[in-house]
Structure 1
Amino acid sequence: MDPLPAVHERTGHVHREPGSAVVLITGVMASGKSTVAELLARRLPRAAHVRGDVFRRMIVSGREELLPEETAEARAQVELRQRISALVADEYARDGWTAIVQDIVLGADLARYVTRVRTRPLYVVVLAPDAASVHDRETGRPKTGYGPWTVDALDQVLREQTPHLGLWLDTSELTPQETVTRILADLPRARVQPD
């Protein structure tokens, strides 16, 4: 089903509402994924926010975090989490919802994730603020996400190892609300057509 044109009631911008679809919001830690995904879901008439990290936290014992020097077990757990979130997103979309998936899906994981999602249309939005903005955001957050990672190292994975799929937005100077407005206005550019 193709998305239908709609006019946003506050801004007057014409955008497309995805309808029964999956939208993946990805980026580095502190790029604004959870805030943007929640705001986007609230701006659509029928949407679910699928938080990838929930599936990571469901593992109570034996959990291994993905570190810069990843282990086979940590990699397997990331892939399990991504398979589950893709399945959940597909189920919401199958029932007529727009599933907004929010997770860190970078590097080769992004292309794999696109093939895991069966729903069409599928949209990918990559939040790509510059590293200095991410440093500032991370400093201002009550939680610390980076641990053994550095902002610069994860930013390098984003910019040098992640395939350029969907809509990439430099959100360094955008508020979350402005980011959502841009996503809705540019939704056709976010659509991906897996092989």
Structure 2
Amino acid sequence: MTTAGAPDCLIVTGMPGAGKSTVTRLVAERLPRAARLDGDELNRMIVSGFVWALGEPADEAALQVELLHRNLCALANNFADAGFTPLIDAMIPSREKLDFFLDLLPSRQVLFVVLAPGIEVCRYRNTIRDPQDRFDFDGYEALDADMKRQFGDAGWWFDTAALTPGQTADRIVREASRRALMN
């Protein structure tokens, strides 16, 4: 997954329950030097005053989402400069947000993977998570339609419904360089 000696930056997104956290951890374990950058973990650094992405006040939520994305990209650039392949695990719901990431990663070969096992699989996977990791979300249909409309054929839309997390990670390691390249 590296090109011309510089690590690629792999961005993995998908709806809640798609498997982003599990798969990015497994992909990172399969690479010789990799850093997993989890948007949820980074958000937990805010000790007081946190507003989640769909929370209120909306202007503060938007500010914190932008801060999260800037921090993820800054970390990705730092890890890549040190010879690590950064794997960004984040919910990126629109082409506008993806372009923001790409603007902050200008000198990187960015690979973009959308884990797309389908709405019912995402719902099911969310129900079998540890209760503290569950994400109560009822906007799957709208999010799925928006992502498909906004991203079009950007990156690699990877249907993982019939695959184990390990099989998904193996395929990403093998195929992302040719299927997910953004620039």
- Same fold, TM exceeding 0.5? yes
Moved segments of 4+, more than 6 Å? none
Could you say which residue in structure 2 is the equivalent of 1:155? 144
Shift of 1:36: 0.4
Say whether the 8 Å CA contact 1:90–1:118 is kept in structure 2.
Answer: no
Say whether the 8 Å CA contact 1:31–1:129 is kept in structure 2.
Answer: yes
Shift of 1:174: 1.2
Q: Using the alignment, how far apart are the partners of 1:160 and 1:189 within structure 2?
A: 19
Q: How does 1:180-195 map to 2 (within 5 A)?
A: 180-187=169-176, 188-193=178-183
Could you say which residue in structure 1 is the equivalent of 2:136? 146
Counting aligned pairs with the same residue, the percent is 35
Q: CA RMSD in A?
A: 2.2
Shift of 1:19: 5.6
Is 1:47 the counterpart of 2:27 in the alignment?
A: no
Q: Which runs of 5 or more residues in structure 2 are unaligned?
A: none
Say whether the 8 Å CA contact 1:130–1:172 is kept in structure 2.
Answer: yes
Please give the TM-score of this superposition, normalised by the length of structure 1.
Answer: 0.83
The one of 106, 110, 116 aligned to 2:104: 116
Please give the TM-score of this superposition, normalised by the length of structure 2.
Answer: 0.88
Shift of 1:106: 1.6
Shift of 1:68: 7.8
Shift of 1:163: 4.7
Shift of 1:182: 1.7
Shift of 1:55: 2.0
Q: Using the alignment, how far apart are the partners of 2:40 and 2:55 within structure 1?
A: 18
The alignment covers a number of residue pairs equal to 179
Is 1:137 the counterpart of 2:132 in the alignment?
A: no
The one of 26, 31, 34 aligned to 2:18: 31
Query: Does 1 or 2 have the higher relative contact order (CA < 8 Å, sep 6+)?
Result: 2
Q: Which runs of 5 or more residues in structure 1 are unaligned?
A: 5-17
Say whether the 8 Å CA contact 1:64–1:77 is kept in structure 2.
Answer: yes
Comparing 69-78 and 183-192, the one that deviates more: 69-78
Say whether the 8 Å CA contact 1:23–1:101 is kept in structure 2.
Answer: yes
Q: Which string of whole-angstrom CA distances, capped at 9 and with x for unpartnered residues, describes residues 2-32 of structure 1?
A: 538xxxxxxxxxxxxx862211111111100
What letter is aligned with 2:171?
R
Q: Using the alignment, how far apart are the partners of 2:163 and 2:58 within structure 1?
A: 36
Say whether the 8 Å CA contact 2:55–2:61 is kept in structure 1.
Answer: no
What letter is aligned with 1:53?
D
Q: More helix by proportion, 1 or 2?
A: 2
Could you say which residue in structure 2 is the equivalent of 1:3? 3
